[in-house]
Amino acid sequence: MSMRVKICGITRREDALAALNLGADALGFNFYDRSPRYIDLQKARELVDHLPPFGLRVGVFVDPTFEGVMEITKALRLDTIQLHGQEPPEFAGDLRNEGLRVWKAIRVSGAQSLKDCGDYPCDALVLDAFDPHQRGGTGKPFDWSILEDWTPPAPWILSGGLNPETVADAIIRLSPSGVDVASGVETRPGIKDADLMRLFIQRARQELVPA
């Protein structure tokens, strides 16, 4: 099975089209207004109106209101909601009751971070590095050795510090269900580099080709 790849922090139509044409499975749109990759609803609507009807559309939120998520979801026809804050399990359950996929981001600072996520109602976990000042997109990996004795309670996606030079080794070591990248394929926050995206996707998948 092909490794799933999400390109996150999309802010430009040309980057979204390039990512899909290069084989990305999912595009992430960040609706957290403190993020350097923040995109507002109007700009996001103009962007997605020109996208082909394939590839998951993932909305990234930090402690949003339910009404706010649903407004954006309906306007952009989002498939998946990625929760990156302190959203309670009931919040995720309400979104799933609306027929949405929910991915819960876990900011990994130690083994306890993984123990705390076991009962969270979600379709996948996104494991990212903890940073006290930033929610995702830090370009920093966490200590992967924490995962050696971990039994995932759900499919999981590796994020944090991935780039074309590190993604293949990460997949070999950890066997995630998918990988998620933002800063590792950028020239600056929110501006993607097509060559880096191409390399990232190729190297993410080359390790799965039988010898």
Taking alpha carbons only, the member of 31, 29, 23, 76 closest to residue 54 is 23
193 labelled catalytic: no
149 labelled catalytic: no
83: CB partners within 8 A, 6+ apart:
61, 62, 91, 92, 102, 103, 104, 105, 122
**Among 8, 117, 122, 180, which one carries the catalytic annotation?**
8
**Among 15, 25, 122, 128, which one carries the catalytic annotation?**
128
Q: Which residues are catalytic?
A: 8, 128
